[in-house]
A and B are shown apart, each in its own frame.
Chain A
Amino acid sequence: MTAADPSSVNYFESARRHYRDADTLLGGSRQGNAGQLFGIAAECGIKAILVASKVPVDTEGSIGSLPGVKGKGFKDHLPNLGKALTDLMGSIPDSRTATTYLSALSSLSHFSDWRIEHRYWRDAALPVASVARWQSAAGEVMAVLDQAKEDGVM
């Protein structure tokens, strides 16, 4: 976002890039990878909210492991990331910001059949019927990012 920013990770920008590219792929009837990117867009958007909520990042700007928390925590992928948000809400430093934006994400359950491993799957095995639901859930994440941008928290 800023020229002087030394970190290479920017979850806000990458969320919007993946979302736009997913839309483009969907427009070209490439449901398989469109679906994959909607999920990744949503993950990045959630992480952007977590960073805005003061969850610690490493020198690259990536969310790291939480002190005292076993497992992947916020580094997990959807759909497990959704569960991590509920379980680990108490460990988010600025829980008020996190609650404000994360509580507006009412459709994360749409990703229950989304897997990061879909990128290795054969075409016929992909649940392309779910892509529309993933798209609307990712769209909801983008709207929340807009709100956070308007509010000046990112």
Chain B
Amino acid sequence: MAMIRFHDALRQAAQALAQLELPAVPSVRVVRDVYGRLRFAVDSALDDYPVQARDQLQAAQMALGAYATSNELLFRDSFSYPEKFFDQQNWLRTMVPMGCNEDGQQLPSVEVLMLDRMVTGHDWLQPVHTEGEHPHRLVFFGLKGGVGRSTALCMVAWGLARQGKRVLLVDFDLESPGLSGLILPPERVAQFGVMDWLVEDAVGQGDSVLTGLVSASPLGESTRGAVRVVAAMGAQESDYLAKLARAYSDVPSEHGPQRLGERLRRMVQALEAREQPNVVLIDSRAGLHDLAAAAITGLADTALLFATDSEQTWQGYRQLFSHWQRRPDVVRDARERLALVRALTPKSDREAGVKRFQRKAYELFAETMYDAIPQGNAEADIEYFHPIETDEAAPHFPILVDWDERFQEFDPGLRPEQGGANDAQVDATFGALIQWVTRRIDGDEQRPEEDEV
């Protein structure tokens, strides 16, 4: 028998569930443990489930080889508090791709209800709508560094402050803290940073550092608004790595362990309550990291996904979108908050390059994030989310930031006479992004409050 690999196991388990003759109710669920091993779970007492079905399930589980957690099927009897296991929020409807048949034809995906126990990355699959009113939150994310994400964030902050807005910047890039260096002179850096809040919150005194977290950036001083900054690292930090080594731990609470995403959301809410900003800009860590998940799915009203036209970029986003795609509930929630930013747009052959980028972006979204519309027999009463390629309001339609040498190793704090950029230069490069963000925020403010359920 061929050795079963990680990605075969779930497909084989889903296939078994689709093919075995099992009672329709209760449906069989799948539990995937932290090693990727699987067990079947049935919300029924062991004795109430037909012996023949049980035997088939057990055989199918054992056929998973090294990817069977054990030979035990999970029934209500397996737990002292079965309702806590079977009724928890973490069960997700999951689409399992079945690959192709012998003729190379794509087989339809099979849906299973799955509890996926992961070591990290929980927040990618737990989109959150924070309750109550809050200022629009924009997350700046890139799959890799060096695409001008933080510079763009500073320029957007400045552009919004020029309109009279009070802008709060928060640096989530804890493993490569740099936003404060870009936007604050050393003497302005606040006493504490996000890192201090995380370690103090873990021992129950996060509130005590809130007052020392925010500083005013000179960037806002020539504007009608203000640019307020929460850095990753406080002034005179001497123990950063010792804190980083602990920052992501779950913290016990009355309602069970609080994960990183939930904790950061509490911090941002507390900062919003203190600072009363009109808009919050979050600099996310680059790459598929928990910090990015916490920001994009846990906080963002809008997530700006920075991309260049490189294979690494497209592959990375495809992996992320495919991860969402398998959970229909998550994909519906995630896609409308996304917006793609074409960073470092080359000036040579610009028009053709932009078209090429737009096409690739459309194909990626169409294959992963947009609804597949059945050919010929689309049901009239179902609303499909599938914008066309040229729809400028669609998540895939790129917002352009041009390549400009001036903004490499750029100090946004410098005045034009010191080698900094003047208004016209900033607008030439970042104007489209600033305008897009402005429309998004203003649209959000004008939109009537959605009906509360």
Q: Which residues of A contact B (CB under 8 A)?
A: 1-2, 16, 19, 139, 142-143, 145-146, 149-152
Would you call A142 and B115 a contact (CB within 8 A)? no
Count A/B pairs, Cβ under 8 Å. Answer: 37
Picked from B34, B72, B79, the residue with its CB within 8 Å of the CB of A151 is: B34
B39 within 8 A of A: yes
A151 cross-chain contacts in B, Cβ below 8 A: 33-34, 117
Chain A residue at minimal CB-CB distance from B257: A104
Would you call B72 and A1 a contact (CB within 8 A)? yes
Picked from B71, B78, B115, the residue with its CB within 8 Å of the CB of A149 is: B78
Stretch among B80-88, B298-306, B369-377, B387-395 lining the A interface? B80-88
Picked from A2, A142, A146, the residue with its CB within 8 Å of the CB of B71 is: A2
Would you call B79 and A149 a contact (CB within 8 A)? yes
- Sorting the interface of chain B by its residue count into under 10, 10 to 19, 20 to 34 or 35 or more gives 10 to 19
For the complex, what is the distance from the CA of A2 to the CA of B72, rounded to whole Å?
8
A152 cross-chain contacts in B, Cβ below 8 A: 31, 33-35, 37, 39, 69-70, 117
For the complex, what is the distance from the CA of A82 to the CA of B85, rounded to whole Å?
27
Would you call B71 and A16 a contact (CB within 8 A)? no
For the complex, what is the distance from the CA of A145 to the CA of B78, rounded to whole Å?
10
For the complex, what is the distance from the CA of A19 to the CA of B33, rounded to whole Å?
27
Q: Say yes or no: A150-B31 contact (C-beta < 8 A), given A142-B81, A143-B80, A143-B81.
A: yes
Instruction: Mark out the residues of chain B between 235 and 292 whose CB falls within 8 Å of any chain A CB in the assembled complex.
Output: none
Q: Which residues of B contact A (CB under 8 A)?
A: 31, 33-35, 37, 39, 69-72, 74, 78-81, 84-85, 115, 117
Would you call A19 and B80 a contact (CB within 8 A)? yes
Least Cβ–Cβ distance between A145 and chain B, in angstroms: 7
Would you call A150 and B115 a contact (CB within 8 A)? yes
Would you call A146 and B85 a contact (CB within 8 A)? yes
24 chain-A/chain-B pairs, Cβ below 8 angstroms: A2-B72, A16-B80, A142-B80, A142-B81, A143-B80, A143-B81, A143-B84, A145-B80, A146-B81, A146-B84, A146-B85, A149-B74, A149-B78, A149-B79, A150-B31, A150-B79, A150-B85, A151-B33, A151-B34, A152-B31, A152-B33, A152-B37, A152-B39, A152-B69
Chain B residue at minimal CB-CB distance from A12: B78
Would you call B79 and A146 a contact (CB within 8 A)? yes
The residue in A2, A145, A150 that gathers the most chain B C-beta atoms within 10 A of its C-beta is A150
For the complex, what is the distance from the CA of A19 to the CA of B85, rounded to whole Å?
19
Least Cβ–Cβ distance between A23 and chain B, in angstroms: 10
For the complex, what is the distance from the CA of A145 to the CA of B79, rounded to whole Å?
8
Least Cβ–Cβ distance between B10 and chain A, in angstroms: 15
For the complex, what is the distance from the CA of A95 to the CA of B80, rounded to whole Å?
25
For the complex, what is the distance from the CA of A143 to the CA of B115, rounded to whole Å?
18
B34 cross-chain contacts in A, Cβ below 8 A: 151-152
A1 cross-chain contacts in B, Cβ below 8 A: 72
For the complex, what is the distance from the CA of A145 to the CA of B84, rounded to whole Å?
12
Least Cβ–Cβ distance between B79 and chain A, in angstroms: 5
Least Cβ–Cβ distance between A78 and chain B, in angstroms: 19
For the complex, what is the distance from the CA of A2 to the CA of B69, rounded to whole Å?
13
A2 cross-chain contacts in B, Cβ below 8 A: 71-72
Least Cβ–Cβ distance between B256 and chain A, in angstroms: 10
Least Cβ–Cβ distance between B409 and chain A, in angstroms: 43
Least Cβ–Cβ distance between B336 and chain A, in angstroms: 33
Least Cβ–Cβ distance between B39 and chain A, in angstroms: 7
A-B contacts besides A146-B85, A151-B117, A152-B31, 17 pairs, CB < 8 Å: A1-B72, A2-B71, A19-B80, A143-B81, A146-B79, A146-B84, A149-B78, A149-B79, A150-B31, A150-B79, A150-B85, A150-B115, A151-B33, A151-B34, A152-B33, A152-B34, A152-B117
Chain A residue at minimal CB-CB distance from B79: A146
B115 cross-chain contacts in A, Cβ below 8 A: 150
B31 cross-chain contacts in A, Cβ below 8 A: 150, 152
The residue in B80, B81, B84 that gathers the most chain A C-beta atoms within 10 A of its C-beta is B80
For the complex, what is the distance from the CA of A76 to the CA of B72, rounded to whole Å?
31
Chain B residue at minimal CB-CB distance from A143: B81
Least Cβ–Cβ distance between A86 and chain B, in angstroms: 18
For the complex, what is the distance from the CA of A143 to the CA of B85, rounded to whole Å?
10
Least Cβ–Cβ distance between B86 and chain A, in angstroms: 10
B117 cross-chain contacts in A, Cβ below 8 A: 150-152
B69 cross-chain contacts in A, Cβ below 8 A: 152
Chain A residue at minimal CB-CB distance from B35: A152
Chain B residue at minimal CB-CB distance from A141: B80
B78 cross-chain contacts in A, Cβ below 8 A: 149
